[in-house]
Amino acid sequence: MIIGVIGPTGVGKTKMSIELAKKYKAIIINADAMQVYKDLNIGTAKIKEEEKEGIDHFLFDIKEVEEDYTVYDYQKDVRYLLNKYKDKNIILVGGTGLYLKAALYNYEFKEEKNNSNYDNLTNEELYELAKKKDINMDIHINNRKRLIRFLNREISSNKGNEIIYPHILIGLTTSRDNLYRIINNRVDKMVKEGLIDEVKYFYDKGINSKSLNTGIGYKELYKYFSNEISLEEAIDLIKKNSRHYAKRQYTFFNNQLNPKWFNVDYDNFNKTINEVIDYIEGVKNDNSW
């Protein structure tokens, strides 16, 4: 059985995944584009070792921050694991909807035969074209080579929403006001836990990779270290960009995936856990899934 746990940033996906993994003796596979990178811990809200409770976690900390890692790479890696552990229960958890789509659906990647070099376009124009192609595209505006490669790659789901790996998809949600409060508080907590030092380590090394130039919490602090904005402005920008990202996540989840949504009871999280388990048990007993 494959269970997906999705939802906007900060909603409680990690905690839910642990509880479901304990219930179903499952392994956990990451579905967050930033958590594949080593040493990006605080800014990505990556699960701590002591929080794993002995459960096997996969596709966390598999790449150096200087390395490129695409959804195409993820699809190959995650499907290898889905096939290797097909006799186990598996929890896919994360907020990168495209990763879930590429993992579980008939989502194919093809290179176009007639590539264009786009020599006549500026980086800004390339970036806008790439955004129109995929709003979730996260290539940095200055990475001209990758932008062109992305534009020349045909990303298609030729069989529409045909499911390759049957699964149960759980979505965690809360009210907008509460979510924004959670996000703002989480950013403040990250700062207290050492986010600034985490980012400065990479800045001092002169590392300017995709993960750092596009990752929320990292790109804003890079601007602070470059004296483009104040620390207060950087923190406010992290909060703002996190809120905007949550909106984009909802858009993708609702348009591209079909989760069963659960409103999280933060005063009694066990209540939400039990509601999710009751739903999963009901679906398991329905042979149609």
Q: Which of 218, 212, 279 is nearest to 66 (CA)?
A: 212
The whole-number pLDDT of residue 74 equals 95
Phi, psi for residue 229 in degrees, rounded to 5: -140, 165
The whole-number pLDDT of residue 100 equals 94
Distance (Å, whole) CA 125 – CA 109: 24
> Which pLDDT tens digits describe the chain residue by residue (289 residues)?
999 999 999 999 999 999 999 999 999 999 999 999 999 999 999 999 999 999 999 999 999 999 988 898 999 999 999 999 999 999 999 999 999 999 999 888 765 544 566 777 888 888 888 887 776 677 888 888 888 888 887 555 445 578 899 999 999 999 999 999 999 999 999 999 999 999 999 999 999 888 898 899 999 999 999 999 999 999 999 999 999 999 999 999 998 998 999 999 999 999 999 999 999 999 988 765 5
The whole-number pLDDT of residue 195 equals 97
The whole-angstrom distance between residue 5's C-alpha and the CA centroid of its chain comes to 11
What 3 state SS string does 98-136 have? HHHHHHHECCEEEECCCCCCCCCCCHHHHHHHHHHHCCC
Domains of the chain with bracketed CATH: 2-107+157-284 (3.40.50.300), 108-156 (no CATH)
The whole-number pLDDT of residue 158 equals 46
Label residue 117 exposed, middle or buried (CB < 10 Å: 0-12, 13-18, 19+): exposed
Provide the token pair at 54: 């002995």
Altogether, the residues listed in the chain come to a count of: 289
Are 15 and 266 in contact by the 8 Å Cβ rule? The answer is: no
Q: Which of 96, 86, 22 is nearest to 56 (CA)?
A: 22
- The single residue listed with the structure tokens 């002591």 is 50
> Collapsing DSSP states into helix, strand and coil, what is residue 20?
helix
